[in-house]
Each structure stands twice: as C-alpha cells, then as structure tokens.
C-alpha cells in the first residue's frame, strides 16, 4: 500500500498544502490547495496578521487537499502517516485562556501576529546590539529586527499589559500551528528557537544548553523565562508531538485522530530540507557542504550547511542542527526580493497597461517583461541592456551581509521615459541587483570558510516562487558563475514539511534519511562565461553605491 504525508507551508501571503508520496517525495498535483492570508500594513515598517485567519486558512487547505485525493482514493486518510508544518518566522501572541492578544499599537483585536518583515523593533535591535552579549556571535554579530527578541522587547516597552499578562504565551508561527494541532502549548522547535530566539543547543560547546538567562535579564525579558511563556520543551524537527492530531484539529483537517504531527520548521529551512539532499546530474555522490539553497519568494533566504562551525559577519548563525541534524547552518538573506520586483514594476507609470495585457493574455506580468526583454536584446545577451542602469536593492534594508535594516534603495540611470521598454529595463536591473546581493552573500560565506579550512560553496539550489522565473534563475547563474539546480518539485517547502511529517510517522528513522529519498532535481541552468567582466563591473558599482548611500546619510546628519 502506498504511503503519504501532508506538507503545509505558511508563507507571507498564502497557506498551501499538498499530499506527498513518502517513497519519492512526489507531490500529488491534484491535492495542491491554496488560501490567501490577510495582512494589515497601516503604517511604515508595521506588518500584522491574524492567527485565527491563518489557522482557518490552514484548516481549509488541508481539508481541500484530502478531499481532492479522496475522489480517486477513498482510503487516503488511512494511508497518511503524518503531517508537518512550516511557516514564516513571525511572532504570535496567544492568550491560553481564550482572550485576545493584540500586538497592534491601535489595539486591533484580530491582529496577534507580528509578521517577520515587520521592522517596528529597529531601535530595540539597535539597543540589543549595543550590549554586545555573547549570544550575538551566533546571529552574525548583529541581531535583526526581524528576529523575535527585539519584537518581544518592543512589546514590553509599548504594550506592557500584554507583556505582563502571564496567560499570554509567545510562539513562532510554525510552533503555533503545532500547538493548535496537538494542544501542546509548551513545545517548540529547535529550528525556530535556535534561529530566531537565541536558544542554544550547541552540544559541542561548554555553555548552557538552552535559554541564556543572562541575555534575557539584560533586556528585562526574564519574566518570559520565569513564567515559562516561550516554551520549555525544545525538540528536534520531525519528532512526533504529543498524541498527534486532537479530535478538533483532525475533524478540521478531514484526517484521522492521532495522526502524527511533526515538530515544525521555518519555511526557508523546510525549503532546504526539501531540496538540498538531492543527487545532482553528473555529480558523484551527495555533498551538501558545497551547496547553498536559495529560497526565493517575497524575500530570500540563503542556506548553507557545513561540518565546521563557521562565523560569518552579517550572516545569521552558525546554528547547530537547525536544518540538517549534526551540521552547522549559515543563514543569509535579502529582506525584499519578490516584493521589491513587484514594487519596482507596479510603481512604474506603464504598469496599468501591462496589467491589462496580462489579464487579456492570461500571462504573469513578469512573463510579459521577460518576453519584451527577449525581443529587445535582438541577437545579443540580455544582460547588456542594463549597461547604464544600476540598482541598489535595499529598499527594505539589507539583511546580509551588511546587516543594516535602516539603509535604503538607490536607482542610478533613470530617464523620463514612460515606455514598456523602460519598465523592462528597470525590471532587469532589479533582478541583476538581487543577483549581486546573492554574490555578496556567497563571497562572505566563502571567505569565512576559507579562514577555517572549510569547503566552499560552489553550487546553487534554488526553490520558491521565483525559481519558476527563467530570467531570475539565469541571472543568478551568470552573476555568481555557478550552476543552478531547480528541484523537480517546485514546492520545495511543502516537500520539506512533508518530510518532517514522514519522519514523525515513522516512515524514516531520520530527517537525513528521508531527504535522501524524497529530494530530487529538475532543471539545471549553467552559467555563461561571455560577460564575466560586464557583471564584475556591475557588481563593483553595486558595492560602491552602498558606500555612496552611507556617505550621503552621514552628510545629512
């Protein structure tokens, strides 16, 4: 009898679920289900969501996925061995007595989630960094406002009633989904807590294995530890939680009561789990250390694992066992990628006309722009079209490796043109700038690895929505001079969370074993060596634009 697992991926804008074959990681395409998530963005740097909305969406998509497959296979519920969740690293406030837990400064009752992209805690992050506590060495030396302790400090300073209420517990979103599914409010994932909450599980080091009370005390957040409000059972990804699905959640999902529920993962880390362990064409053996996984969507995450403990300034980590058990993870990223591309395209005067064409031809606007660029290049390389147009893509700050959430974007070379050609060039230059950001991250990781004799990154595995954009993938390959491998299953996050469900259900003994069977590669994109010098010059301009931007800011102080 075939066996299946359910993977649930909660992204920034939608919840997706699918049923996945345990034997080979293939998604049952008819099962894929999606619900859009509501986001409130009422003021600069504030992004809020609702746990009730997200849980309802989660129930809807899992139930829909099961029902779709039931039409062909009435036994599907009995063939599902487990369920796994991944989600953005957003902060959820939960009143365990059932009351409201608004994180909005306006007291909006439905918004109890601070989205990962929310930068309200910029000043709190700056304060934490000024303390220079030892835990900061494991977040690249500089904590980001996108992490949870700056957000918790903001809550203490701005919403003291919420902070002081002992019934309010705080979760990473992926952990919240496990709590809602199992009723286990004290369970947290090693993935979420190590990567976003400063939890330590560095078994090879002579230091506290767990929450560092001196760090929380230095921030005045020790109440959260003394009242056990941020988790007391920190468990490895894929471990089964409690007795699995409660009757209430099983009914909502249309699954069996006690279906095993896995300890969850952050969405980017699930993308890594769902892709990095694949056998590559014409490559002997599986060496995950020479690979970096880029999860490219609203933002991007750059995930690289090593047997060595490598410290990279401005890159989060090293995190032990936070993605692959027993290995150290370096986590770079860009705060705005798909969101930046949308912003640049949608703010152009030609966009309404392009959107109309998009609707009439049933094509995404990015596809239309790719086609226009292909037309504009004639017989030449499309890269050369942006010779006079340069973008610094830090419109929402820089996450890695500069770790400057306050810096801003720059465009050099604008004209007064309102044409589609002008829009296409801006779109191209933006993709190139994002690719130069990836090059910057990879160079930083490789420089740090070289210092400790660790193996360098030389291959890219790309997943997420933008891995379907051929221009985006090709620019990354050319700019970094690396072969890019796109997973056979484009929904790598769903595969990753499904792998955790398979492990929780006993189909595999470990996450690593499951990855070796359930990861696979589809498209392979190789770099062109014709314009290496062109991209070298553009990359130098990209780096210099940041220095110029910082100079202008200093001049205006």
Write the DSSP string, 227-288.
TT-S-SEEE-TT-B-TTSS-HHHHHHHT--TT--BB--EEHHHHHHHTTTTPPPTT--S--G
221 exposed, middle or buried (CB, 10 Å; 0-12, 13-18, 19+)?
Answer: middle
| Same fold for the pair 4-265 and 338-438+532-555 | no
Bridge-partner residues for 395, per DSSP? 397
Which pLDDT does position 206 carry in this prediction? 45
Using DSSP, state whether 21 is helix, strand or coil: strand
Strand 187-189 versus strand 233-235 pairing type:
parallel
The CA-CA-CA angle for residues 324, 327, 328, to 5°, reads 110
pLDDT digits (tens, 9 = 90+) for 9-40: 999 999 999 999 999 999 999 999 999 999 99
Q: Are 61 and 37 in contact (CB under 8 A)?
A: no
Which pLDDT does position 210 carry in this prediction? 86
Parse the chain into domains and list their residue ranges.
4-265, 338-438+532-555
pLDDT digits (tens, 9 = 90+) for 320-361: 999 999 999 999 999 999 999 999 999 999 999 999 999 999
Bridge-partner residues for 34, per DSSP? 16
Nearest-angstrom CA–CA distance, 395 and 123: 18
Q: Which two tokens mark 204?
A: 């090879």
Q: Is the pTM of this model over 0.75?
A: yes
φ, ψ for residue 556, nearest 5 deg: -90, 0
CB-facing half-sphere around the CA of 44: CA atoms within 13 A:
5
DSSP 171-193: EEHHHHHHHHHH--TTEEEHHHH
What sign has the CA pseudo-torsion 115, 117, 123, 126? positive
φ, ψ for residue 535, nearest 5 deg: -70, -30
Q: Are 265 and 237 in contact (CB under 8 A)?
A: yes
Using DSSP, state whether 79 is helix, strand or coil: helix
Using DSSP, state whether 147 is helix, strand or coil: coil
Into which CATH architecture does domain 338-438+532-555 fall? Up-down Bundle (1.20)
pLDDT digits (tens, 9 = 90+) for 240-278: 999 999 999 999 999 999 999 999 999 999 999 999 999
Which pLDDT does position 368 carry in this prediction? 99
Q: Tell the residue number behind the tokens 């487990």, with chain if given.
A: 82
Which superfamily does CATH assign the domain made up of 4-265 to?
Answer: ATPase, nucleotide binding domain (3.30.420.40)
The distance of Cα 88 from the centroid of its chain, to the nearest Å, equals 6
Which pLDDT does position 204 carry in this prediction? 41
Q: Which residues of the chain have pLDDT under 70?
A: 1-2, 202-209
The distance of Cα 382 from the centroid of its chain, to the nearest Å, equals 29
Q: Which run of H or E residues covers position 83?
A: strand 80-87
């Amino acid at each position: 009898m075939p066996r299946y697992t359910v993977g649930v991926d909660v992204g920034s804008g939608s919840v997706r679920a699918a049923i996945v074959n345990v034997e080979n990681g293939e998604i049952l395409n008819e099962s894929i289900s999606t619900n859009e998530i509501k986001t409130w963005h009422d003021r600069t740097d504030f992004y809020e969501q609702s746990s009730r909305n997200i849980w309802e969406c989660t129930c809807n998509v899992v139930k829909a996925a099961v029902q779709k497959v039931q039409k062909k296979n009435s036994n599907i519920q009995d063939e599902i061995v487990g369920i796994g969740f991944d989600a953005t690293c957003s902060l959820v406030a939960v009143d365990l007595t059932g009351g409201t837990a608004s994180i909005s400064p306006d007291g909006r009752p439905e918004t109890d989630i601070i989205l990962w992209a929310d930068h309200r805690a910029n000043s709190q992050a700056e304060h934490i960094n000024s303390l220079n506590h030892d835990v900061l060495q494991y977040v690249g030396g500089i904590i980001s406002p996108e992490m949870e302790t700056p957000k918790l400090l903001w809550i203490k300073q701005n919403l003291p009633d919420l902070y002081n209420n002992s019934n309010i517990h705080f979760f990473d979103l992926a952990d919240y989904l496990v709590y809602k599914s199992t009723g286990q409010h004290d369970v947290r994932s090693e993935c979420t807590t190590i990567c976003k909450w400063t939890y330590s599980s560095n078994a090879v080091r002579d230091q506290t294995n767990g929450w560092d009370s001196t760090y929380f005390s230095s921030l005045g957040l020790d109440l959260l530890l003394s009242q056990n409000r941020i988790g007391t059972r920190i468990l490895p990804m894929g471990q089964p939680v409690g007795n699995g699905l409660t009757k209430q959640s099983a009914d909502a999902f249309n699954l069996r009561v006690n279906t095993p529920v896995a300890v969850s993962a952050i969405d980017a880390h699930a993308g890594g789990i769902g892709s990095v362990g694949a056998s590559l064409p014409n490559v002997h053996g599986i060496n995950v250390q020479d690979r970096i996984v880029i999860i490219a969507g609203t933002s991007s995450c750059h995930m690289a694992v090593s047997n060595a403990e490598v410290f990279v300034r401005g890159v989060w980590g090293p995190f032990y066992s936070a993605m692959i058990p027993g290995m150290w993870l370096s986590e770079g990223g860009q705060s705005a990628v798909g969101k930046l591309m949308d912003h640049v395209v949608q703010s152009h005067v030609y966009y309404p006309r392009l959107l109309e064409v998009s609707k009439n031809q049933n094509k995404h606007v990015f596809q239309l722009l790719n086609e226009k660029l292909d037309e504009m290049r004639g017989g030449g390389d499309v890269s050369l079209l942006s010779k006079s147009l340069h973008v610094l893509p830090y419109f929402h700050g820089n996450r890695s490796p500069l770790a400057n959430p306050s810096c801003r974007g720059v465009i050099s070379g604008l004209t007064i043109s309102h044409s589609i050609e002008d829009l296409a060039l801006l779109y191209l230059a933006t993709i190139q700038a994002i690719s130069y950001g990836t090059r910057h991250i990879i160079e930083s990781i490789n420089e740090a690895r070289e210092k400790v004799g660790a193996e360098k990154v030389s291959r890219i595995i790309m997943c997420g929505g933008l891995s379907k954009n051929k221009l985006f993938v090709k620019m990354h390959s050319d700019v970094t001079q690396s072969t890019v491998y796109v997973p056979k299953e484009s929904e790598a996050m769903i595969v990753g969370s499904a792998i955790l469900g398979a492990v929780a259900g006993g189909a595999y003994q470990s996450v690593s074993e499951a990855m070796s069977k359930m990861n696979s590669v589809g498209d392979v994109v190789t770099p062109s060596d014709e314009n290496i010098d062109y991209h070298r010059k553009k990359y130098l301009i990209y780096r210099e634009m940041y220095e110029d931007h910082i100079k202008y800011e200093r001049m205006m102080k």
